[in-house]
Amino acid sequence: MVEKINSCIQQHYNYNTTINPVVKPQQPANNSPVVNFDSNKASVIFGNSTVNTEIRTQLSNREEKKKYSDITSSLDKNSRKVLETLLKNGVLLNSKSNDNSTVLDNLHKILTEPRAQGLDNIGILKDIIATVAYPFLITQQFGNIPNQFKQNAIQANGQGNPNDINVQQSGTCVAASTEFKLAKQMPAEFARLAKDISSPQLSSQRNIKLDNLADNTLTGIWLLNAFEIPFKMNNYNDATLTFAPDKNAIIRAQIQTADKDPYERTPLDVLMQSTFMQIGSQQSYNSLTDKRTGKFNQNDKGLIEFEKTFTESVVFDKNILSVTYQTVDENARLIGYETDLNTMKKHLTTALDMGENIIIGYTQTDANNIIINGHEITIVGYKQNKDGKLTFICNDTDDDISKPIEYNEDYLLPKIHHAALPKEVVEADMNVVPTWVEGIAMFKEMKKQAVA
């Protein structure tokens, strides 16, 4: 893996519809819009805000030098090269985290402090180094459960169907896309969270501002309670939230530690994706079955748009606006768009120019324009072709390709159901109802139906 990362870094580094289990894009028979990424084809604009205004590429004191030395002495040659690259490009000393700790600080704690039972310090350390160096390695592919682990997994799943643990198709596209975006835009926070949720405590605290969730404190508190996320108030606007993977995630992580095949999730992927699924599913996710319950989604797989937006908002402590572009009738038929495609394209490119990586939900329709499924991917950049059209550079956590992929605008834009965008990007063009308003209305309607 590390050899692949070194090669990839040289080439690439500087550059509701219910979202259910992924279905691969149905490509046209000719001129498929998905191609291997080639940075020499055109000038590329990337949404990449991984660094602070002051980039540090030099170890500045004895403590940092010791931490770096401790880590490098524990790594093989190829991993040391990746770590050196992280230092040179400013990622290793990036401190854009909830407690201002750097990637280096958190890597050193992972090396020197205990990990949860069944996890390997060096393994987690190398996973984090690899992931922040090249987030395109992240996948949502579940691994098989070898015979020696099956009985324990079946017992942990309790009264559930024993066959449910043999997950064939993952519903964690939202969680995997959130993991990708966090690793790419906030590597220090990614490393801090990874350090915490792989520790014996299997949890992490995150301070957020409630006005990044809603327009007033009471509504923000309502949302936290509705999503059943543990929290404590620090003052009228600040709260400390507890993030944690579900209780069965450690079993999946232990299995992947002992028996990981190519294209399967790392133990770190398991814990990260479980944590984000827990946040969005009202703490109801089960890593053994990849199923959830919860009050907002009647489907037992994946997260709906409201849940996805809440997850992204608390993870990034940012007011995320989910902009719905497709108009869908009560029969799940795509009947039009809320704005024209050129306006949609302007929104995407403006956000990318601002340094955002944009998680989008796209849909697939049948011959009658009925939406049959959806998937979440992340747009990370774009380039202009000779004909003036754009090609969007994307990451898909379920394509078994550890590289960016490309979609031309004519293929991708009509398929976009929603996109997570800063409010200022869209407010002049569309009257977008905040997701939490729709969520509260949905919750009240569900309660009314339950009483009736």
Place of tokens 């940012």: 318
Tell me the per-residue pLDDT of 44-70, one tens digit each, with 9 for 90 and over. 666 654 434 478 999 999 999 999 999
Over the chain, what is the mean pLDDT? 88
Beta-strand pair 358-365/371-384? antiparallel
Residue type, 385: N
Structure tokens at 108: 């050193």
436: left (phi over 0), alpha (psi -120 to 50) or beta: alpha
Is-contact 179 170, C-beta < 8 A? no
Whether the CB-CB separation of 191 and 107 falls below 8 Å is answered with: yes
pLDDT > 90? residue 350: yes
Domain boundaries, the chain: 53-316, 321-451
Mean per-residue pLDDT for 408-429? 93
| Whether 398 contacts 139, CB under 8 Å | yes
What Å distances lie between residue 180 and 121, 165, 259, 395, 422, CA to CA?
22, 25, 23, 8, 18
What tens digit of pLDDT does each residue of 109-132 get?
Answer: 999 999 999 999 999 999 999 999
Scanning 338-403, the segments in alpha helix (DSSP H) are 341-353
Q: Residue 13 pLDDT more than 50?
A: no
Q: In Å, what is the CA distance from 34 to each residue of 40, 98, 227, 401, 411?
A: 17, 36, 37, 11, 10
Question: In Å, how far are 83, 94, 116, 191, 244 from 195, measured between CA atoms?
Answer: 17, 16, 10, 6, 12
pLDDT at site 31 = 32
Chain centroid to CA 439: how far?
21
pLDDT at 39 > cutoff 90: no
As to burial, measured by CB atoms within 10 angstroms (0-12 exposed, 13-18 middle, 19+ buried), residue 277 is: buried
Higher-confidence residue of 360 and 428: namely 360
Strands, E, within 277-370: which ranges?
Answer: 321-324, 326-328, 334-337, 358-365
What pTM was estimated for this model as a whole?
0.88
Q: CA-CA-CA-CA torsion for 98, 225, 194, 172, nearest 10 degrees? A: -130
> Does 351 score more than 60 pLDDT?
yes
Per-residue confidence (pLDDT) for residue 140, from 0 to 100 = 97
pLDDT for 434: 75
- Report helix, strand and coil shares of the chain as percent, to nearest 5: 40, 15, 40
| Segment 386-408, tens digit of pLDDT | 999 999 999 999 998 899 999 99
What is the per-residue pLDDT across 205-260, written as a single tens digit (0 to 9) for each?
999 999 988 888 899 999 999 999 999 999 999 999 999 999 999 999 999 999 99
